[in-house]
Amino acid sequence: MTPIIIAAGVALFLGAAGGLLTPIDGWYRALRKPSWQPPDWAFGPAWTIILGLAAWSAVVAWNAAATGDQRRDVVVLFAVNAVCHFLWSPLFFRLRRPDWALVEVVFLWASLVALVAGLWPISPFASALILPYLAWVSFAAFLNWTIVRLNAPFAPAT
C-alpha cells in the first residue's frame, strides 16, 4: 500500500504545483501562439491523466522490481523526472522565460526516455505507461519552441 500512497502523493503534488506555478495572466495571453495550440482548459485534464499514468507506472515498476538495485533505479528514475517536471512551469510562467523553459524541456524529455528505457527490463507495462507522457512532452516541447520562435527575444522578468 505504501508505494501507492507515495506515487499518488507525488503525482498530486506535481499536479498541484504545476497548476499553482502556471498563471494564465496578461503576459501569457499576450504571447503569440500557434493556431494549433490546444485550448488552455485542455492542459489540466491532460496533465491529470499523464501524472496518473506515471504514478501507476511507478507502482507497477516498484512491485515488479526483483532486487533492491532495481527498486533504487525506479526511485532514481522517477525522482529525476519529478525534478525536471517541476522546474518547467516556474521557468516559463513565473520567470517569463520560455527560452529557458525550452532548454529545460530537453532534460524533462530525456528523463522520460530514461524512464521508458530503464523501466523496460523491470516491467514493459510500466515502461509503456510512460509513453503518453513522453508523447505529450514531445508535443509540448515543439509548442514551447514555436512560442520562443514567435516571441523572441525574452528579457528577464521584472
Domain with 68, as residue range(s), is 2-151
In a domain, 156, yes or no: no
In a domain, 55, yes or no: yes
pLDDT at 80 (0 to 100): 97
Alpha-carbon gap, residue 81 to 133, rounded angstroms: 11
SS3 148: helix
Helices (H), the chain: 2-20, 26-30, 40-64, 68-89, 98-119, 124-129, 131-151
In a domain, 157, yes or no: no
pLDDT at 9 (0 to 100): 86
Alpha-carbon gap, residue 148 to 31, rounded angstroms: 9
In a domain, 73, yes or no: yes
This prediction's pTM: 0.91
Q: What are the average pLDDT values for consecutive 10-residue runs of the chain, which has 158 residues? A: 87 86 89 96 93 96 97 97 95 94 98 98 98 98 97 76
Residue whose C-alpha cell reads 501507476 in the numeric block? 56
| Number of structural domains in the chain | 1
CATH number for 98 = 1.20.1260.100
- Angstrom CA distances, 145 to 42, 45, 141, stand at 19, 22, 6
